């Protein structure tokens, strides 16, 4: 008979997640837990770098085509300004947030459990920040696309 699958907790506390992570690592214990957490930080870092590439492309394209799109009217100008501000805000947040480094070896705690809890809290903070960064980026891209649509509707100037 197969082991039953247990549904994951929707919002585990850092304490319960740390206990589970340490238990799942068995003999590897803290070393295995740290390896898992480092991989999770790598995922956040990679995604932040991809978002930074998108923001850079958006700002570069705006430099070339922005004036022509803005000439399409008040809506296009307003949407483009809102888009640029939002994308720039996302860029600044990425640079000062997701791409900001705190090394796992800098964390200190009295027990292995407390150490993993501290690292999990830091990871959770970075994940929330990543969500804010992506929301700003999506809002900015939506505004930018709206300015392009307005430009296409007005036609060639």
Q: What digits encode the pLDDT tens for the residues 68-121?
A: 898 899 999 999 999 999 999 999 999 999 888 888 889 999 999 999 999 999
pLDDT tens digits along 17-44? 999 999 988 888 899 999 999 999 999 9
d(CA 117, CA 102): 15
Tell me the domain boundaries of the chain. Answer: 39-154
Looking at the chain, the whole-number percentage of residues with pLDDT higher than 90 is: 68
pLDDT at position 7: 60
Is 44 within 8 Å of 130 (Cβ atoms)? yes
Structure tokens at 134: 């992506």
Burial 119-128 (b: 16+ CB within 10 A, else e): bbebbeebee
Q: Residue 12 burial (CB < 10 Å; 0-12/13-18/19+)?
A: middle
If DSSP codes are grouped into helix, strand and coil, which group holds residue 155? coil
Please give the C-alpha separations between residue 138 and each of 5, 114, 142, in angstroms, as whole numbers.
36, 36, 6
Q: Does residue 65 register a pLDDT over 60?
A: yes
Average pLDDT of the chain is: 90
pLDDT tens digits along 120-152? 999 999 999 999 999 999 999 999 999 999 999
pTM of the shown model? 0.81
Please give the C-alpha separations between residue 44 and each of 10, 54, 55, 134, 147, in angstroms, as whole numbers.
20, 15, 16, 12, 30
Supply the DSSP symbol for 72: T
pLDDT at position 18: 94
């Amino acid at each position: 008979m197969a082991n039953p699958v247990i549904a994951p907790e929707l919002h585990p506390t850092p304490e319960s997640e740390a206990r589970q992570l340490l238990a799942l690592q068995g003999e590897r214990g803290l070393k295995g837990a740290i390896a898992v957490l480092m991989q999770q930080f790598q995922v956040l870092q990679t995604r932040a770098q991809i978002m930074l590439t998108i923001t850079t492309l958006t700002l570069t394209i705006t430099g070339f085509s922005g004036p022509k799109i803005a000439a399409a009217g008040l809506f296009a100008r307003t949407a483009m300004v809102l888009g640029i501000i939002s994308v720039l805000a996302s860029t600044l947040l990425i640079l000062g947030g997701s791409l900001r480094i705190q090394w796992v070896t800098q964390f200190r705690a009295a027990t292995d459990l407390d150490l993993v809890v501290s690292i999990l809290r830091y990871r959770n903070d970075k994940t929330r920040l990543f969500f804010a960064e992506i929301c700003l980026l999506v809002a900015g891209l939506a505004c930018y696309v709206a300015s392009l649509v307005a430009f296409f509707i007005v036609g060639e100037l």
